[in-house]
Chain A
Amino acid sequence: MLDFFVWTSVAILFLVLLCMYRVFRGPGVVNRIVAINIVGTKTITIVLFIGLIFQKIDFFTDIALVYALINFIGVLAFSKYFEKKGVV
């Protein structure tokens, strides 16, 4: 089961790399914020998989929870800021 978790994490990491293309090349701010939101959700699952691989799931669950909070607040703050300022 450990190999399954490792290879699933590698697959999700490859999908993160695919999404990073949209972060770097995406036209405008909105595409970048959408892609960053996706990358954040994938990072939460990768952190949980790391906790399963190293057998310290209680420790890494708190990190994933804090990462989910920071991801949500960051995306909301960016979208509110560009809503007021005007999207490039």
Chain B
Amino acid sequence: MDTAVSYAAGLLIVLGVILFALGAIGILRFPDFLTRMHAAGKCDTLGGLLVVTGIALYNGLALGSLKIIFIAVFIFLTSPTATHAIARAALKNKLPIWTRDEEQ
């Protein structure tokens, strides 16, 4: 029983780290701030949620796990809000947006 919970926690953590890696590759490789935000916002939100949930699952039933779950809920609420605020700041100042024609 205990090992099964540990394996589930490890699986969640590995999935979260894979999503973090995809977000980092997107941050490095995409050509524009909007596409970078697209990679960063989603991968970072779901990856953080999975890793923090895995840590709470490994910690077991305690009062500390409730606080860790609270951190997960907080990441899930605030990370899209921050991404939205950055995108609004960029769009209101009319930054140049990448299109496919610039590639040639």
Which residues of A approach B to under 8 Å, CB–CB?
A: 1, 4, 8, 11-12, 15, 18-19, 21-22, 28, 30-31, 33-35, 37-38, 41-42, 44-45, 48-49, 52, 57-58, 61-62, 64-65, 68-69, 72, 75-76, 79-80, 82-83, 86-87
Contacts and interface: CB of A to CB of B under 8 A. Distances in A.
B17 A8 contact: yes
Given A52-B58, A79-B86, A83-B92, A37 B79 contact: yes
B48 A41 contact: yes
Given A37-B83, A37-B86, A48-B68, A30 B10 contact: no
B28 A61 contact: no
A30 B67 contact: no
B75 to A, nearest CB: 7
Given A45-B48, A65-B71, A68-B75, A12 B82 contact: no
Nearest to B92: A83
B89 A76 contact: no
Contacts of B74: 65, 68-69, 72
15 contacts: A8-B14, A11-B17, A18-B24, A18-B27, A37-B79, A38-B23, A38-B24, A38-B27, A44-B48, A44-B75, A48-B55, A48-B68, A61-B71, A68-B78, A87-B93
A65 B28 contact: no
B96 to A, nearest CB: 10
A31 B48 CA distance: 20
B64 A58 contact: yes
